[in-house]
Structure 1
Amino acid sequence: MRRLVLAALLLAVPAAAQEVRLPVFEAGVAGGGGWLPDYPAADQNHIRGIAAPFVIYRGELLRADDQGVRGRLLRGERLGLDLSFSGAFPSSSDDNRARRGMPDLDWQGEVGPALRLTLWRDVARPRRVNLELPVRAVFSSDLASVRYRGVVFSPELAVEDRAVGLEALGLRGARFRLGVGPIFATERLQRYFYEVEPQYARADRPAYRAKAGYLGTRLQFSLRVPITPAFSFVGGGRVENFAGAANADSPLHRRDWNATVALGFAWSLYQSAAAVASSADPFD
């Protein structure tokens, strides 16, 4: 989905697990772009990009960094509870054959709690296997108004490795992540993607009423590499399958497979003099 590039911006923000002390506050600019499907199960991709400021805050109870926003109220060795975010680019219906004449798909944002269960970990390497259970509310915006679009549940089995063999090149603190899992969405969100109201029906696009349920399954990966203490690079990709989805018979469900490729960067322009000791846990 188009949200991979926006997620890449969060993954790209600089982090240095090997440092003894880290700035409490950082600010800079992140950017990214990629070749992205217009919407889930679309049969067209387009190149899209974005640049935006970012901030990192490393507080005792609240942290906002490359792992998201975390309340740190539940952070045991095996169990964690975070506040997770995601997003997606807008898509013009004029540029998509299946949706031509229909309303555009606006900017999308997701926010909600994510329970993390660590199934296995090797701190010495360091690497771990997580079962992540995010439940997010979805909103869309045309930058003039915001509309609630439903809820998405996307459990994921993820492998995370923070020592990916780049130390010999002087690139310390790299992180690789690979995740796979299904996606389920409420009727309201499914309607946003797949419903065809009668006024938008035509010979090759009959009216259709979307329903809640299984949306698809995705396999995604990302690699973040700190080039300097202030500059990081991130690359990633995603493959999604929508066969057997609840709305596979919608005229807007055009392809069972989607692929995404994305690249991004983050440049830290300010680091506070105040610092905080980095945790002994490389995943904290």
Structure 2
Amino acid sequence: MRVRIIMLLAALAPAPALAQQPEARQPKLEAGIGGGGGWLPDYPAAGQNHVQGIAVPFLIYRGEILRSDDRGVRSRFYDGEALGLDLSFSGAFPSRSEDNDARRGMPDLDWQGGVGPSLRLTLWRDDTAPQRLNLELPVRAVFSSDLTSVHFRGFTASPELALERLGVGRPGARLRVGLGPVFATGRLMDYFYEVEPRYVRPGRPAYDAEGGYLGTRLQFSYRLPLTERVALVAGGRLESFHGATNDSSPLFRRNWNTSVALGFSWSLYRSEATVASTSSPFD
């Protein structure tokens, strides 16, 4: 999929406590505003990029099960040093077909959101750095919406090898680099690559997409807390679509896509009630 809004707006979550000590405490409830944007491809293997952006309020609740941090909104069903199971979310910006040469005259691509379980296996960690290497296995159901109706678009599976390191550049900063393939069901592939007979044009023949391999992505994010209330985030993604299942679609225009993004968060309210931070620097 296109660059996830969760990756772009990781700054929506306030920075973790700069002192990662067992006795450190964080507000149980926070509220503020966050935003971000970037130069993003219109869809996977699109031939054009456009500038997209968003600013939204956020509400953070640090509970035992539901919480939001610099890794995004998540529900922690199980969280251990070597194994974690979360409910993960993702999203993507809409795209106007009239602004894309390949899709002109076709329906727009709407806002997209995904939700599903994500299994995390920690293959290696060093708490002195601190850093860790994870194998993350998210499976998500994907939906689209024009803000008047919602449509189910299929499923994605995106196993990823991810390296996380804290304190890069300054205390409290987080660097994450991930690499992995993306697979999607036929229904989602149709959303991106199908050309129905009524949309056939010279140079755009009819095409029926199939489920399978979508592409491989290398992505990074760097989160920099400026104060206890303000943080910045930078992110980027390089995607390869060589050998993709639907590379013969007339809507498939490039074997490479590049994305860059910037974001911020500003915590306007922090509750007096606090919760204890754990001894793990990654929590």
TM over 0.5: yes
SS in structure 2 of the partner of residue 73 of structure 1: strand
**1:9 to partner: Cα distance:** 1.2
Alignment deviations for residues 57-89 of structure 1 (CA, whole Å, 9 cap, x no partner): 111233222223443331121000011111111
Alignment deviations for residues 172-230 of structure 1 (CA, whole Å, 9 cap, x no partner): 20000000000000000000000000000112000000000000000000000000100
Q: Is the 8 A contact 2:6 2:89 kept in 1?
A: no
SS in structure 1 of the partner of residue 39 of structure 2: strand
Which amino acid in structure 2 is aligned with residue 204 of structure 1? G
Query: Identity of aligned pairs, percent?
Result: 66
SS in structure 1 of the partner of residue 7 of structure 2: helix
SS in structure 2 of the partner of residue 72 of structure 1: strand
Structure 1 residues 174 and 275: alpha-carbon distance in aligned structure 2, compared to 1, 3 A threshold: same
Which amino acid in structure 2 is aligned with residue 124 of structure 1? T
**1:11 to partner: Cα distance:** 4.1
Q: Is the 8 A contact 1:89 1:106 kept in 2?
A: yes
Please show how residues 3-22 of structure 1 align to structure 2 within 5 Å: 3-19=3-19, 20-22=24-26
SS in structure 2 of the partner of residue 71 of structure 1: strand
Alignment deviations for residues 1-49 of structure 1 (CA, whole Å, 9 cap, x no partner): 5434442213452222334110001111011010000000001000111
- Confirm or deny that 1:186 pairs with 2:185: yes
- Pick from 68, 80, 84 the counterpart of residue 64 of structure 1: 68
- Pick from 165, 181, 190 the counterpart of residue 161 of structure 1: 165
Q: Is the 8 A contact 2:215 2:240 kept in 1?
A: yes
> In 2, distance between residues paired with 1:69 and 1:233?
17
Aligned to 1:102: 106
Alignment deviations for residues 161-182 of structure 1 (CA, whole Å, 9 cap, x no partner): 0121x23xxxx20000000000
Root-mean-square deviation (CA, aligned residues, Å) is: 1.2
Aligned to 1:226: 225
Which amino acid in structure 2 is aligned with residue 156 of structure 1? E
Q: List, as ranges, runs of 4+ consecutive aligned residues in structure 1 with deviation greater than 6 Å.
A: none
> In 1, distance between residues paired with 2:121 and 2:31?
30
> In 1, distance between residues paired with 2:214 and 2:113?
17
Aligned to 1:209: 208
- Confirm or deny that 1:114 pairs with 2:127: no
Alignment deviations for residues 114-171 of structure 1 (CA, whole Å, 9 cap, x no partner): 000000001111100000000000000000000000000000000000121x23xxxx
> In 1, distance between residues paired with 2:58 and 2:43?
26
> In 1, distance between residues paired with 2:268 and 2:236?
27
> In 2, distance between residues paired with 1:229 and 1:11?
12
Aligned to 2:199: 200
Q: Is the 8 A contact 2:5 2:90 kept in 1?
A: no
> In 2, distance between residues paired with 1:251 and 1:31?
34
SS in structure 2 of the partner of residue 74 of structure 1: strand
Per the normalisation by structure 1, the TM-score is: 0.95
Aligned to 1:251: 250
**1:54 to partner: Cα distance:** 1.1
Q: Is the 8 A contact 1:25 1:57 kept in 2?
A: yes
> In 2, distance between residues paired with 1:73 and 1:254?
40
Aligned to 2:281: 282
> In 2, distance between residues paired with 1:60 and 1:6?
21
> In 2, distance between residues paired with 1:71 and 1:52?
21
SS in structure 1 of the partner of residue 98 of structure 2: helix
- Pick from 134, 141, 148 the counterpart of residue 145 of structure 2: 141
Aligned to 2:261: 262
> In 2, distance between residues paired with 1:98 and 1:130?
38
> In 1, distance between residues paired with 2:51 and 2:75?
35
- Confirm or deny that 1:50 pairs with 2:59: no
- Pick from 75, 80, 83 the counterpart of residue 76 of structure 1: 80
Would you say how many aligned residue pairs link Structure 1 and Structure 2? 279
Q: Is the 8 A contact 2:76 2:87 kept in 1?
A: no
